[in-house]
Amino acid sequence: MRTSETRVPHECSDNGWQEKHMSPSPFPRRPLPPITDVVRAYFDARVERIPFDTCWHWTGTLSQRGQYGLLNVPPLSQYRAHRVAWEIYRGPLPADTRSIDHLCRVSDCVNPDHLEVVTQKTNVLRGVGPTAENARKASCLRGHPFTPANTWVFTGKDGYTRRACRECQRMHSRESARIHKPWIRQNARRRAARYAKEESAE
């Protein structure tokens, strides 16, 4: 029996960095089909309500990635079942809605009480993927805290915004200077000797 009793929703980190530097997706969602009696009957026939389990599990087709419920609407249209569930029980979704978050963390759940309309970045940060895990980190790999004074925010060549530890950058600079300093001094002496030789030749 599938159950959601041990599922605990992840809280969205609120340190300000993620909300400021994560951009919303520019691609709009495809509009959902009209909620007709046929669609409602098709939906209800594929919902499993287990006693003592508040989740409504989808028994129809599941997506290969994420195991989300898929609702097949003739002739060839396919929609996320939890988005259709929201329109059936909560009404039309806003046109700019990108994501619906599963508060129960059960991907095949279509219970509208377990769903919340959120932005794409909020949905990502509440998840368990690499982006969310890195965003929730309060310190770097060496244990330096990500305080405002110690955090360097920059945009990479790929256009994505990233953060780095300033103390680690300073440590890297000092180590690089220690390694290359003898060569720098040697090159400076060579340049000085060359300039002196040129001046004496004149």
Query: pLDDT in tens for each of the 202 residues of the chain?
Result: 444 443 444 444 444 444 444 444 444 566 777 788 888 988 999 999 888 778 999 999 898 887 899 988 766 678 899 999 999 999 888 777 778 999 998 999 999 999 999 888 888 888 877 888 888 888 888 889 999 899 988 888 888 788 889 999 888 888 887 777 777 777 777 878 887 777 777 6
Return the structure tokens found at 141. 């790999």
Question: How far is 26 from 40, CA to CA, in rounded Å?
Answer: 31
For the whole model, what pTM was predicted? 0.61
pLDDT at position 1: 42
Residues 6+ positions from 70 with CB-CB distance below 8 Å: 60, 61, 62, 63, 78, 79, 80, 81
Q: Which helix (H) or strand (E) holds 101?
A: strand 99-102
